[in-house]
A and B are shown apart, each in its own frame.
Chain A
Amino acid sequence: QKEVEQNSGPLSVPEGAIASLNCTYSDRVSQSFFWYRQYSGKSPELIMSIYSNGDKEDGRFTAQLNKASQYVSLLIRDSQPSDSATYLCAVMNRDDKIIFGKGTRLHILP
């Protein structure tokens, strides 16, 4: 089993709708979780971090964590064309290394 798994997409969402991105991880002792956004040809950019079960909101972004299910998600409300990018889920494992999923490509349809 891969350490961090994501659906590669592409996920197509109409402008103004909610985009929902999901991620599962294998290491039960993981404590820190991150979402990075990567535009084509650019470097990953940290957009959200979450450490406790539940929801964490920042503007249009909400990260959700369920440690019992080993599941992390990112919701983007009022999706904009500028949100079109690849979203990388990242998990800090028991060795304090951040392991990345392969990413989900999100396409916001104007």
Chain B
Amino acid sequence: DAGVIQSPRHEVTEMGQEVTLRCKPISGHDYLFWYRQTMMRGLELLIYFNNNVPIDDSGMPEDRFSAKMPNASFSTLKIQPSEPRDSAVYFCASTPSDSGNGYTFGSGTRLTVV
């Protein structure tokens, strides 16, 4: 299994631009999570999906952030417009139905907004 696949690995963009981060979960995993990691705040859960349906988006910082999961093998996290404070590493993770087993993380996307 290729694991959780994220793209791009690095993204540098100018303030105000739209940024789209992509994730392919492990096949058969029903849950998909988007996390953001910074030195100051650690790993923060932004949103998660169950069977492609958004279940909890209470961690999404503001309306500039949106996430979709059009099918079981693909999800996007979009920031529009981007701001320098959005600079962080964004991780996608997935898990089977029994989430008590912990999550498998992708390699992450390091986003820098200048």
- Cβ contact within 8 Å between B102 and A97: no
Report if B101 contacts A (CB, 8 A): yes
Q: Which chain A residues in 7-59 approach chain B with CB under 8 Å?
A: 31-32, 34, 36, 42-46, 49, 51
Residues in A whose Cβ lies below 8 Å from that of B104: 46
Q: Is the pair B48, A97 in contact by a Cβ cutoff of 8 Å?
A: yes
Cross-interface CB contact of B108 among A43, A46, A99, A100, cutoff 8 Å: A43
Number of residues of chain A lying within 8 A (CB) of chain B:
23
The A-B contact count (CB < 8 A) is 45
B45 at the interface (CB under 8 A from A): yes
Partner of B99, one of A45, A46, A96: A96
When A97-B45, A103-B42 are in contact, do A46 and B107 touch as well, CB less than 8 Å? no
Would you call A88 and B43 a contact (CB within 8 A)? yes
Q: CA separation between A99 and B58, bound complex, in Å?
A: 13
Expressed in whole angstroms, the Cα–Cα distance for A67 and B95 within the complex equals 25
Q: Is A90 an interface residue (CB 8 A)?
A: yes
Choose among A44, A95, A96, A99 the residue with the greatest number of B CB atoms under 10 Å from its CB: A44
Write out the residue numbers on chain B whose beta carbons fall within 8 Å of the beta carbon of A44.
Answer: 43, 91, 105
Q: Collect the chain A residues with CB atoms within 8 Å of residue B103's CB.
A: 46, 98
Q: Does B61 contact A (CB under 8 A)?
A: no
Proximity bits, A54-94, B CB within 8 Å = 1, else 0: 00000000000000000000000000000000001010100
Q: B: which residues have CB within 8 A of A?
A: 35, 41-43, 45, 48, 56, 91, 99-108
- Given A49-B100, A51-B100, list of 5 further CB < 8 A pairs? A32-B100, A42-B107, A90-B102, A98-B99, A98-B103
Instruction: Report A's interface with B, CB cutoff 8 A.
Output: 31-32, 34, 36, 42-46, 49, 51, 88, 90, 92, 95-103
